[in-house]
Amino acid sequence: MATEILMPALSPTMEEGTLAKWLVKEGDTVSSGDILAEIETDKATMEFEAVDDGVIGRLLIEAGTEGVKVNTPIAVLVAEGEDVPAEGATAETAPAPAALNGEEGKIATPASAAPAPAAPKADTSPDWPEGTAMKTQTVREALRDAMAEEMRSTDAVFVMGEEVAEYQGAYKITQGLLDEFGARRVIDTPITEHGFAGIGVGAAFGGLRPIVEFMTFNFAMQAIDQILNSAAKTLYMSGGQMGCPIVFRGPNGAAARVGAQHSQCYAAWYSQIPGLKVAMPYSAADAKGLLKTAIRDPNPVIFLENEILYGRSFDVPDLDDYTVPFGKAKIWREGTDLTIVSFGIGMTYALDAAERLAKDGISAEVLDLRTLRPMDTDAILASVMKTNRLITVEEGYPQGSVGNYITSVVMEQAFDYLDAPVINLAGKDVPMPYAANLEKLALVTTDEVVEAARKVTYR
Amino acid sequence: MATRKSSANSNVSAEELLGYYRDMLLIRRFEEKAGQLYGMGLIGGFCHLYIGQEAVVVGLEATAKEGDKRITSYRDHGHMLACGMDPKGVMAELTGREGGYSRGKGGSMHMFSKEKHFYGGHGIVGAQVPLGAGLAFSDKYKGNDNVTFTYFGDGAANQGQVYETYNMAMLWDLPVIFVIENNKYAMGTSVQRATKSPSLWERGAAYGIAGEEVDGMDVLAVKAAGEKAVAHCRAGKGPYILEVMTYRYRGHSMSDPAKYRTRDEVQKMRTERDAIEHVRELLLQGKHASEDDLKEIDKEIKGVVNAAAEFSKESPEPALEELWTDIYA
């Protein structure tokens, strides 16, 4: 079977070159590794080797030809004794060898780029058995119980951070843990985020399961190198040998009147990083179930809490042990006219808005993502394919937001289902101001969610 | 067989001395080969050679027991060979092949071996220091007497996280040995141009950490200091600092023309202070080995290094599916 030899790309950026010289002629027998030609690029003259064995049936490009495009057939290779096909007849194309350093054209296409016309199947199974008895708990209590339960079952789990032990937690999330587990496992650190985050990651490499509390995630910026470069990447860089089972947790996002340096949402930041998992619960039940999952997870988990939600009460299953899986969104409210996707404290605006919209006859479906990485895009797509309209709600900055990513997923996989442009609601594109009136203006509001819902439903 | 003492004022047998010679020579020949393969385009990116500093890791590894851990920066090939990692797997990682320790996904600066308790290979200057203290934390938490050797350079010694780590390591009595490999240059910046501190190890005093300066071109001096540091840590007395004065003969990385120091300076070190030559002389003068014995070792090492180079060329590139594996456990 005759094979076409194609003009190779000899560097990642080469598009065309000069076929300077043939070192073989028609009828020559060649084997893999023989030099066939010299090819000039704008940077250098390179030798071009044969990949397959055979006989040169025909040279298609004359020596000295300039501007030969990459992947143009330049010769035909036939098997020993085989006829040379007539000019213009189709021969099997041998792929040009990749650029020497193999940087282009060799990357498998990620699955997400493929169109998915069929409606994805969202997992809507209940998180705990129907009829489970419930109790009322604050998010704060739920988080503490999650840690205490996991510490009771596994000695390798410990908590470290500023004021987590004797002070009982700057926000009282670790209240009572020192009394029950002692100073070996509930460890006050000096104010030294970069250092203790690194020590936590090293302890995880060494086989422990640290829970590292940041007094707020604003302070974790001091430690972000250890989180990204050491915790998130080591499994990959070690070819799977060395994992990092660690939880970084603490309040994230705007609190109240604490100004620009203490009011920032890191959801979009961390959810960009392969190797990290990112959870951001809204309710107490999810806070508990997700934190237990996070502590058991063999990977580094960023667990984003919210100071304003700490004191809110919710129904929590009255069970000895339950977990909430990562990558499974929760439908808080079913609806038919539009989908509102949110997470964390954004859910309060989403749910309030849905309530108000219902009074005006607009039926909103409200999805709580719960984890941003992995993200339950199937649930988003299934809902959008039903309602045909989508708005996203978060408190972080608008540029490069979580909503922007969701929008791109919906554009790629459910474009034909959209009856209106997607609207991303986010915090305003400003550092957080201190003044009460300006601070209110900087955050996303229920009014804005309602207004966006009317826009996408044209009502 | 009676153990003969080496001629140095040290409690080291001839067999041990021959072992250090072999280990240091392996590192040097391996690094020379890595330099060659880099020139041939088989190794890409950054490649930081350890030539000149061999006595540091070899001397300290001589004090380690099973279970002890080690972690270092991006100049890590020597550390891996010294703790017993397979030269083939290290070289194949340098060439980015499937047979490499990280299956080609880590490269020169990012290699690990759970089996040999080697925790990397870290590319961010100074980041391995808190990580090393964290490894020591895990051993203390588990209640064993393992220690962690945490290596970093004179450049990293100016990173803030080093001092955050000193503070907590001493506060919590962590069994960590901070090994400052002072090779006099942080890339192109000499120690004198980076700090007015007269010495780096003395900075530990601010946190109450004991330490000392060590001659890093003398493997026996390194070993003796290492034994002291290890005993201190195993006894539960907390961290210890060794500032090991050493020298790298090559540039910071393969792309460094090393214009910041004179050729004479390098040459003087090589001829007067070379760590391998030093042990060679001890072996010959003490009549622990003949020229022929040493030639035999040279030949054996050359064989090991050539086999590693061959393996690193023959091992295939990782399968394309590898792009998507090992992101999550």
A319-363 confidence digits (pLDDT tens): 999 999 999 999 999 999 999 999 999 999 999 999 999 999 999
Task: Kindly report, residue by residue over A151-178, the tens digit of the pLDDT.
Answer: 999 999 999 999 999 999 999 999 999 9
Q: What mean pLDDT comes out for the span B242-246?
A: 98
CB A319 within 8 A of CB A146: no
Indicate whether B2 belongs to any domain: no
Q: Which CATH number is A134-317 given? A: 3.40.50.970
DSSP code per residue over B83-110: TT--HHHHHHHHTT-TTSTTTTSS-TT-
Tell whether B324 is within 8 A of chain A (Cβ).
yes
User: Would residue B41 count as lying in a domain?
Assistant: yes
- Contact between B122 and B72 (Cβ < 8 Å): yes
Q: Give the pLDDT confidence of A177-188 residue by residue, as tens digits.
A: 999 999 999 999
Residue B9 inside a domain? The answer is no
Scan residues 63-82 of B and list those with Cβ closer than 8 Å to A: 69, 71
Looking at the predicted structure, is the pLDDT value of residue A24 above 60? yes
Domain with residue B97: its CATH number is: 3.40.50.970
Residue B195 lies inside a defined structural domain of this protein: yes
Q: Does position A91 have pLDDT exceeding 60, yes or no?
A: no
Q: How many CA atoms within 13 Å lie on the side-chain side of A428?
A: 13
A92: confidence class by pLDDT, cuts 50, 70, 90? low
CA–CA dist B109, B123 (Å, integer): 6
Active site members of A: 193, 262
Distance from CA of B142 to the nearest CA of A (A): 9
Considering only the beta carbons, identify the residue of B124, B133, B329 that sits closest to A202. Answer: B133
Confidence band for A102, pLDDT divided at 50, 70 and 90: very low
Q: Is residue B322 part of a domain?
A: no
> Cβ–Cβ of A190/B139 closer than 8 Å?
no
| Residue among A190, A206, A243 minimizing CB distance to B168 | A190
Q: With an 8 Å Cβ cutoff, is B143 touching chain A?
A: no
Q: Which residues contact A297 (CB under 8 A, 6 or more apart)?
A: A245, A247, A277, A326
Assess B216–A contact: CB distance below 8 Å, yes or no.
no
Is residue B6's pLDDT more than 50?
no
CATH topology agreement for domains A134-317 and A330-457:
yes
Q: State the total domains in chain B.
A: 1
Q: Do A237 and B171 touch (CB under 8 A)?
A: no
Report d(CA B70, CA B64) in Å as an integer.
Answer: 10
Each residue of B14-59: pLDDT tens digit? Answer: 999 999 999 999 999 999 999 999 988 999 999 999 999 999 999 9
Arch. (CATH architecture) of A3-93 = Beta Barrel (2.40)
Q: What are the tens digits of pLDDT across the range B104-147? A: 999 999 999 999 999 999 999 999 999 999 999 999 999 999 99
Interface predicted TM-score (ipTM): 0.94
Distances (CA, A) of B24 to A383, A423, B77: 64, 64, 12
Residue carrying the six token digits 């072992």: B19
* Shortest Cα–Cα distance, A373 to chain B (Å): 11
Does B18 contact chain A (CB < 8 Å)?
no
The yes-or-no verdict on residue A317 having pLDDT over 60 is yes
- Structural domain for B63, as ranges: 20-312
Q: Binning pLDDT at 50, 70 and 90, where does residue A101 land?
A: very low
pLDDT band of A80, cuts 50, 70, 90: confident
Exposed/middle/buried for A160, CB within 10 Å: 0-12, 13-18, 19+? buried
A195, A200, A245 ranked by CB distance to B161: nearest: A195
Asked whether the beta carbons of A212 and B303 are under 8 A apart, the reply is: no
Q: Which alpha helices (DSSP H) does A226-283 contain, by range?
A: 234-237, 267-271
Instruction: Name the residue facing A195 among B130, B323, B327 (closest C-beta).
Output: B130
The reported pLDDT for the residue numbered A97 is 41
Domain contains B50: yes
CA dist., res. A244 & res. A261, Å (int) = 29
Confidence category of residue A118, pLDDT binned at 50, 70, 90: low
Asked if B323 and A274 come within 8 Å (Cβ–Cβ), the reply is no
Kindly state whether residue B236 falls inside one of the protein's structural domains: yes
In a domain, B329, yes or no: no
DSSP letter string over A10-47?
Answer: -STT--EEEEEEESS-TT-EE-TT-EEEEEE-SS-EEE
Q: Which of A102-106, A187-191, B187-191 has the highest mean pLDDT?
A: A187-191
Q: Domain residues of chain A, as ranges?
A: 3-93, 134-317, 330-457
Architecture per CATH, domain A330-457, reads as 3-Layer(aba) Sandwich (3.40)
Say whether A192 and B164 touch across the interface (CB within 8 A): yes
The reply to whether B135 touches chain A by the CB within 8 Å rule is yes
